Structure 1
Amino acid sequence: MVVPLCALLLVRLTGLDGGTPLAVPVVLFPYGAALSALVLVTVLAVRSLRTTPVVVVAGLLAAAQLALLVPRFVPQRQHVPSDAAELRVATLNAHVGKADARAVVRLVRSERIDVLAVEELPPAGVRALAEAGLGRVLPYRELHPENDSSLYSRLPLTHGGPLKADTAWPQTAARVRVGGRTVRLVAVHTYYPLGDAARWGRDMTALTSVARADGPDTVFLGDFNASLDHARMRTLLSSGGLTDTHAELGHGWAPTWPAGKPLLPPLVQLDHVLHGPGLAAVSVREHTVPGTDHRAVVARLALLPAGRS
């Protein structure tokens, strides 16, 4: 049992999962850490296993894995002025348009969403959302069903269109004005490692290049098909100058996929809201929407004073 757990830790530490099939098992790293802790407890409880080498190996393994996970449970809140302008954003993978359109509209109304990013939204899904009345609450749109992702907004959208980046399908981007500042939004949907790990890796690398070129007031939100244990996701955050909203607020365990399964709860977090240094997270929550296999992520972001970004 210890051997595969050590192998998983090695992959996580060295980044061997970047653009390789190892990106598939590394998503289970949190479960490996929990199992390592169980192994340590078992070793300490069973007299025949309680030898120094075994205890040391089990202890080091559990400590190393937990050390990598604990930081995302520690909030890194920034001071947000009480009068700071806020932007409420949400992302939802619509499962090829199967998401319940009326439920989506109810979510937008109840959470007072300013900008909604929708992935896997074909023309039929666009029509269903229109018939459900989404246009009455989010009248501005940057729709690209041919490219998989779209943006809906309560605020006027400018500079909209597909990103010019080396991704499997074009990512939809646009800008909104909030509190006298321009915030750039990118609706993200990458390829998936299980289908083609190398293609997924190139998608993540391309997004990192885009993030590096962006200013501090930027938001990347969507289905990244990546967790915080993937090396390419960590590179996107560090080199791209982005912050994961869940980790920032100490929400270290927020699985979003698969959703809607009667006997299977969500297991991994693939859906994220990332933001540049010009913003700070105020809150983040996940919501189940009938018809789709991803949970929606809703986040409140505050614009920090210019000198703080």
Structure 2
Amino acid sequence: MTTGDTHHAPWPDDLYEQIKAHGEFLSGRLGKLTRGKQLTLVGADLTGIKLVGMNLQRTVFRGCRFYCADLRNTDFSQAVLTGCDFSGADLTNARFVWANLRGADLSRAILKGTRFENADMRPMTDPPVLPHGKGGVVSLSETTLHNTNLTQAKLLGASFVGAILDGCILDNADLEGADFSYSTLSNVQFKTAKLHNANFHLADFPSDMLQQLQGSGAKLPKVIAPEVLEQVVQDHQTWIDTDGQKGRRAIMSGWYLSRAHLALANLNGADLRQANLSNANLHGAKLICSDMRDCNLMHANLTDADLRGALIEGSRGLPVVMNDRKN
């Protein structure tokens, strides 16, 4: 019962028998005729395994690898899953209620309708179980979270970098220090969530969500009024036309410019470090020798934009062809 990859350790030969025995353990039928036993695996490689719709409540999987596994509708409630690698796994409608997921890697996983109520997703301080165990903060980077329920989950320092959160419920969740850089949020609930030092600087979200986050202690981007942006662009054009004698260079580092209208704008030499330009209209914009390091350019319109000599290290959302051509 192997994965076909000779570099992976084989799954336990009696895995499905162990799952059956675990079912008996859960049902409480412990006796001479049915010998139930709690399923416990440490450091196992279960890459690509298909465990759809199974009852795996109260199982113990420490440092196990579920890379690209099919775990739809599976119930891991109250399970111990510390340091497990769920990267790329399909966890649609799976349940992790009251599960221990400390140090788990859920990057690039599919979390549609997945439930994590009261899950412990804090960083793991113990050394990871080798060879497959993860450690440190829980990663949800590049993950799709659609109608995912994380009510009262403990997510201190968790990484949501580049994640898509659509219709997620994070009510009462502990998100202190969580990183939402380059993520896209829509219809997300944060009622009474703990958000102290949570980083939303480069996240893309609607304006009403920004109002919801005000006063939460989260690190929020600097939102700029359209008239202020227009004046800054005008002053920058004057600065260019007069070789710096008049006007002022545009310093827009860290500004929230999502969906801004900057078509044909002359921003040559502008400081746009860590600016959020997601969904912005930069059609035909002049950005020669501008500083655009660590920008969020996801879904921005860069048609005919001129980025010759621009500093773009760390930026996300630049088309590969443009990236290659301009450097």
Q: TM-score, normalised by structure 2?
A: 0.22
Counting strand residues as a fraction of each chain, which structure ranks higher?
1
Q: TM-score, normalised by structure 1?
A: 0.23
Counting helix residues as a fraction of each chain, which structure ranks higher?
1
